[in-house]
Structure 1
Amino acid sequence: MSDVLDALRRHPDVEAENLHAVDATDRLLLDEAASLLTGAPAGSVVVIGDRYGALTLGAIARHGISGVRVHQDRLTGERALHANAERLGLGGFTSHGLTPDLVAGARVVLLQLPRALDALDEVAALVAEHAHPGVVVVAGGRVKHMTTAMNDVLARHLGRVEARLARQKSRALVASSPRPAAERPARRWPERAEHPDLGLVVCAHGGAFAGTGVDIGTRALLRHLDAVPTTTGTAVDLGCGTGVLAVALARLRPGLDVVATDESAAAVASARATVDANDVADRVRVTRAAGADDLPDASVDLVLLNPPFHVGATIAPQVAHDLFAQAARVLRPGGKLWAVWNSHLRYRPVLERVVGPTRQVRRDPKFTVTASVRR
């Protein structure tokens, strides 16, 4: 068991000394669920939120179970799971979206607790509606990121929620007894909100960053979108989130074909709903991809980018650097990258080096908007 976990890698995700493929919560959940996993029938176990395969491969290696259904929001985590499984010669699992087929008839659900309560609500609602009536959810996280509100969210959908003792700064919650449909909240995902100031409708699933709101970085770039000179060709909203920039660009520049891409399954599902809600599905294509890895070299005229600077709770500027490099790869010579980023990160020298000549469009204490031209 320990050998399997010790052998796991994060690749193709960012790897560094302070970033790990397995944490104490993975180990705690596998121990807490051991009695449930022993002898579990094929196809009865579901894993949600497995970061790099520790829960899935740990359960398979220890208990010899098969037919494990897995949902991971991040595509890089999904690819890491498959890469680890191939390297270790393990199988017996399939990857799924956050849809009813993921949990249909499930008796055991292992869940890495998401940070967002809305994300937890969507998972709990899905389990309560579609899993076996005797399902047991073993959920866990780092104590510093857990709140009693998580218990409350689970309890809205599952009648019994028990907090277990903490270990190595991690804690497990065990939930069971799905509530009858009449006692559960009404379905709410994806949610929808109108933004009259932007003339947009934003749709969001529980795990989407900023939900149905529009984060201030995106708003900073939106304020200058009409200054983008590109009017024809192909544009990419790289790391599209709920699709706000892609929709706004498609409306502003109807001559552009727009591709919205994100590695988050929640983001992609949200962006597709946002695109449909704003009637631009004929001009915006939404894809799930790690950065721009599904786009050919020198195939794009414009990239819009509001890059993250965290991996989970860890500050990792390398994520943005990688996205700059991917933008440079897919841009044609003379193509443009318009980006917004936290001013304290001082990305301009990186953009100059990786993409090409870069001018500052606007800067304030929080955000900087830049325009780079591909050499």
Structure 2
Amino acid sequence: MANSTTPTSAPTLLMSPAGRWQLRRFPQRTNDPLQAWDAADELLHIAIAEQAAAVASSYQPLVLNDQWGALLMPFAHCQVTTMNDSFVSQQGQLANLKLNQLDSALKQISPLAPLSANIDSVWLKLPKSQSLLEYQLAKLSGELNPGTPIVAAAKSKLFTPAVRELFSRYCEDVDISLIQRKCRVLKARIRHVPFVPEKYMSEWQLAEHGLTLQHHVGVFARNQLDIGARLLLEHLPAAGAQEVIDLGCGNGVLGLVYAKRSPSSAITWVDESHLAVASCASNIELNLGVKEQYQTRVDDCLSQFASASVDLVLCNPPFHQEHAITEHIARQMFRDAKRVLRKGGEMRLVANRHLPYYHPLKRLFKQVNQVASNAKFVVYSCLN
């Protein structure tokens, strides 16, 4: 009999009217309790199966916000383009194509890349960020041919009045289904509205640190400093670390403040979000200037970094992945930080008090000390 504490693995076989595939989240975990697709994906599969043209090899669909390839799979043999902010999701799509032994002419692009005017239709999962959704709809409206069909799906609760208004602004013939399995499907046609990318950049001042911060849509803490980062900034390590990484950098504020404190340090800002890294690059140039010692990188945690190569890792880890609440990303960050830190190196991180990070950190690092805390957050110093 299985131990009651043994995690239950989520199903990995997706069967729908559009086909059947093995699908796993990425990076793959043993006994992963989170499934790689949801009911909204299955409803979109029904819509795909109803359109004979959608499965022609010459078809050119655009798929947005497809986390692990569930929406990509029926189009794998087409001239398909996926647009996703997440590097991890892009890697997951490739891994699932390989898992299903599918050869694909897949083109993966970031939200900032131009769109081909030859796109035949758009298939969209609603992102968590409403500002990102507005940017995506505005981009589609400005760059695709008017009348291009769009099909979107998500949990019913995400089709708020504000979201419906966005679709009405950028689309015509908007039709939203009744609730099916707690989800809805929206069908519409794109109308032309001129696209002004600059409209979707925000800027604010962090006066106490002498910074001007610019943000693309969907980037964490887009309009103000979050209180966890504020606590960590009050308790940064001393200046002097030679090689530094701001891991899960978001707008880059942790590395920016440390760079001003320690101008001789070489700093790399790392995030899995293309929009976060683009925001961070703008903020580095705006506040520090263009210098070879400052680099940005899109990565799955620190998978592309050499072991024992840095002295300090700064981290404000996430505890969610789109709509799913999960600790596994933070724990992967901790393991990667342990690997890339030199002997005697430090990871300085801030975390919500309720998250059970202390014992996993103690198992990884030689020494773990609580540096500071308040009602909601705690700052840890983890020495390698």
Pair 1:18-2:33 in alignment: yes
TM-fit CA distance, 1:329:
0.4
Equivalent position to 1:188, from 181, 194, 199: 199
Q: Distance in 1 between matches of 2:30 and 2:116?
A: 31
Equivalent position to 2:294, from 284, 289, 297: 284
Q: Distance in 2 between matches of 1:243 and 1:13?
A: 28
Pair 1:371-2:376 in alignment: no
Cα-to-partner distance string for 1:67-96 (whole Å, 9 max, x where unaligned): 101122222221111111122222131111
Pair 1:222-2:238 in alignment: no
Structure 2 unaligned blocks of 5 or more: 1-13
Cα-to-partner distance string for 1:310-334 (whole Å, 9 max, x where unaligned): 2334332232222111111000001
Q: Distance in 2 between matches of 1:16 and 1:207?
A: 30
Pair 1:110-2:123 in alignment: yes
The 8 Å contact of residues 126 and 154 in structure 2, kept in 1 or not, is answered as yes
TM-fit CA distance, 1:2:
2.1
The 8 Å contact of residues 203 and 223 in structure 2, kept in 1 or not, is answered as yes
Query: Scaled by the length of structure 1, what TM-score is found?
Result: 0.90
Tell me the equivalent position of 1:82: 94
Cα-to-partner distance string for 1:253-272 (whole Å, 9 max, x where unaligned): 10111001011122112212
Query: What value does the CA root-mean-square deviation take over the aligned residues?
Result: 2.2
Residues 147 and 15 of structure 1: CA distance in aligned 2, closer, same or farther (over 3 Å): farther
TM-fit CA distance, 1:201:
1.6
Q: Distance in 2 between matches of 1:69 and 1:291?
A: 25
Greater displacement, 321-330 / 139-148: 139-148
Q: Distance in 2 between matches of 1:274 and 1:159?
A: 37
Q: Distance in 1 between matches of 2:52 and 2:199?
A: 31
Q: Distance in 2 between matches of 1:215 and 1:5?
A: 43
1:11 counterpart SS class: coil
TM-fit CA distance, 1:353:
1.8
The 8 Å contact of residues 297 and 331 in structure 1, kept in 2 or not, is answered as yes
Q: Distance in 2 between matches of 1:134 and 1:40?
A: 20
Tell me the equivalent position of 2:7: none
Residues 13 and 89 of structure 1: CA distance in aligned 2, closer, same or farther (over 3 Å): closer
Tell me the equivalent position of 2:65: 49
Q: Distance in 2 between matches of 1:186 and 1:102?
A: 13
Tell me the equivalent position of 2:136: 123
Q: Distance in 2 between matches of 1:273 and 1:316?
A: 30
Q: Distance in 2 between matches of 1:15 and 1:113?
A: 28
TM-fit CA distance, 1:158:
2.5
Q: Distance in 2 between matches of 1:99 and 1:158?
A: 21
Aligned residues: 366
Q: Distance in 2 between matches of 1:213 and 1:256?
A: 26
User: In percent, how many aligned pairs have the same letter?
Assistant: 30
Equivalent position to 1:349, from 352, 355, 359: 359
The 8 Å contact of residues 239 and 261 in structure 1, kept in 2 or not, is answered as yes
Structure 1 unaligned blocks of 5 or more: none
TM-fit CA distance, 1:306:
0.7
Q: Distance in 2 between matches of 1:39 and 1:373?
A: 54
1:202 counterpart SS class: strand
Q: Distance in 1 between matches of 2:80 and 2:40?
A: 19
Pair 1:197-2:208 in alignment: yes
Residues 11 and 261 of structure 1: CA distance in aligned 2, closer, same or farther (over 3 Å): same
Residues 302 and 82 of structure 1: CA distance in aligned 2, closer, same or farther (over 3 Å): same
The 8 Å contact of residues 55 and 74 in structure 2, kept in 1 or not, is answered as no
Query: Scaled by the length of structure 2, what TM-score is found?
Result: 0.88
TM-fit CA distance, 1:206:
1.5
Residues 43 and 131 of structure 1: CA distance in aligned 2, closer, same or farther (over 3 Å): farther
Residues 36 and 199 of structure 1: CA distance in aligned 2, closer, same or farther (over 3 Å): farther
- Partner AA of 1:275 in structure 2: I
Equivalent position to 2:114, from 101, 105, 108: 101
- Partner AA of 1:124 in structure 2: L
The 8 Å contact of residues 277 and 296 in structure 2, kept in 1 or not, is answered as yes
Greater displacement, 9-18 / 121-130: 9-18
Residues 111 and 177 of structure 1: CA distance in aligned 2, closer, same or farther (over 3 Å): closer
Equivalent position to 2:83, from 64, 71, 75: 71
TM-fit CA distance, 1:192:
2.0
Q: Distance in 2 between matches of 1:59 and 1:237?
A: 37
Cα-to-partner distance string for 1:247-298 (whole Å, 9 max, x where unaligned): 1111111011100101112211221222222234314211000001111000
TM-fit CA distance, 1:118:
0.3
Please identify which structure carries the higher helix content. 1
Equivalent position to 2:218, from 207, 216, 219: 207
1:371 counterpart SS class: strand
Q: Distance in 2 between matches of 1:28 and 1:57?
A: 14
Tell me the equivalent position of 1:252: 261
Pair 1:301-2:308 in alignment: no
Residues 358 and 180 of structure 1: CA distance in aligned 2, closer, same or farther (over 3 Å): closer
Residues 314 and 186 of structure 1: CA distance in aligned 2, closer, same or farther (over 3 Å): closer
